[in-house]
Chains A and B, each alone.
Chain A
């Protein structure tokens, strides 16, 4: 599919979908926004600054409108959306949300109204560090991620990413329907066979899991505990951070209001606070360990999928330059 044709597809979708995708802001950061004009869409191989998670798990969403003791689900309709430009690592995170929020009616309804269009660059040539996800275009990867439509760009030139032979895959009935409706037949169907490859979970991930479970290497956690300033930016940009708190927002007459679910961060002090102001995660060292333990032990053990999709957004935003990959290497060596 040529670039022109792909953008025509976006135009076609805009007729009855709100289309979201990566666009550049004034500071040259790639953000996920509604695509009003297709020329704004940026698919150049770069990861978006934030992940796509707030389109699936909004940073704050009302769970209920309350009136005295009664909780009523808000009466809003979920918009029909197409989300374009999710990379393979973003799609891997989506698989995790599907499992974690399997019984969550808000997530499920939002997801049901969403057409997911992923893309990736399958190139043998290695790109710069910034294009970290490119290396993740592993063999048969498409069978292990969920999407409706996937655009595979085959180009060795970063500046002419769309100029190679581009392939289109569909991963769902919905995706097929859309392409049929658009009048494009030249696609391949991919059968989803589950998130894990035949050879099992990623070996490095398993090794980290094992190390984390077997020992608490005080030196590692103490060290990053000293550096981390608990700003929580890594948790904001991380596609597999999904923790939340539930707050009530009363209206002026206090008997009515909203119960909302908002993102939280385990780096914040109040995260573990119980009655009497007792905090069970007592210091930065403990909170850091908690964060890593979620990704590398709790998620893989509970959902049988990796809790880190290796996008590297955490290291990219850290204001005190904590290199999370380096921390993992230290864990492996411990």
Chain B
């Protein structure tokens, strides 16, 4: 019988510092069969294991089209992530997954897309955007991104912004307070909350909206989207919950009748909005 908790080994191929506390890790399967069999959908997640410290869920930050390797972004907040962020090229990690349901890629490819995100919540969207950049002919709508973080330094993937804009992605940034990094950059840093962008900017027409960020942000983003009468079935939210097993057994990530690890982490908002204390 297959052991659902067994991990496969990956090697750290590159480590890139993204911000003061976030690093990107390029990971490659040690075993070629594992590499060939590995497929994922943007928005799904893996559990990265560090024996002695446990395991933790991470989103994919690269296009599933790239088979050679994939990326995760790690913010040093706890024991495992602090340890992980000190790891070096060539060291090995265990992982299992991918788990859950990702973003609705068939809808995303057909429609105008508005991405609203805060902080580290942006990682799964990087996967979608990378995919769009590689496979543009199959994406038929416009992309608009509203991305907020504490400071310019905390905005992940800033080295990609120029490329995104050159590829007709409408990118709007928001920070809590303006700093020198912001002033020195070629981008306009709006100061305030990401919800203000929804209020003040012209939105792409009839968008499918993808949301991922801190619960408090998600809550106010939806309130703002409601003012524009965007149907809740067009809003997809990626939720964060504690996950131990990743396969819908341990109960930690349960919300109402669903499991975030198995039925999510991406949910159409109309499916879950009625659940008490959902965000």
Q: Which of A22-78 contact B (CB under 8 A)?
A: 63-64, 66, 68-71, 73
* A108 near B1: Cβ-Cβ < 8 Å: yes
* B94 near A71: Cβ-Cβ < 8 Å: yes
Is B252's beta carbon under 8 Å from chain A? Answer: yes
Is B105's beta carbon under 8 Å from chain A? Answer: no
* Chain A interface extent, by class: 35 or more
Is A250's beta carbon under 8 Å from chain B? Answer: yes
* Chain B interface extent, by class: 35 or more
Q: A104-B4, A108-B1, A246-B55 are in contact. Are A275 and B81 (CB under 8 A)?
A: yes
Cβ-defined partner of A266 (8 Å) among B51, B240, B251: B251
* A69 near B252: Cβ-Cβ < 8 Å: no
Give B136 Cβ to nearest chain A Cβ, in Å: 34
* B240 near A274: Cβ-Cβ < 8 Å: yes
Is B90's beta carbon under 8 Å from chain A? Answer: no
Q: Which of A227-280 contact B (CB under 8 A)?
A: 242-248, 250, 254-255, 257, 259, 264, 266, 271-276, 278, 280
Majority SS of interface residues in chain B? Answer: loop
Residue from B81, B92, B247, B276 whose CB has the most chain A CB atoms within 10 Å: B276
State the B residues within 8 Å of A (CB).
Answer: 1-7, 9, 49, 51-56, 75, 77-78, 81, 92-94, 215, 240-242, 244-245, 247, 249-252, 254, 256-257, 276-277
Query: Could you list 25 A-B pairs, sorted by A, with CB under 8 Å?
Result: A64-B6, A70-B9, A70-B94, A71-B6, A103-B4, A103-B247, A104-B4, A242-B251, A244-B249, A244-B250, A246-B55, A247-B54, A248-B52, A254-B52, A259-B51, A272-B242, A273-B242, A274-B240, A274-B242, A275-B75, A280-B215, A281-B277, A293-B254, A293-B256, A298-B254
Q: A73-B6, A250-B51, A266-B251 are in contact. List 17 more A-B contacts (CB 8 A).
A: A63-B3, A69-B51, A70-B9, A109-B1, A216-B276, A242-B251, A245-B250, A246-B244, A246-B250, A248-B52, A248-B54, A255-B52, A271-B252, A273-B242, A286-B276, A297-B257, A301-B257
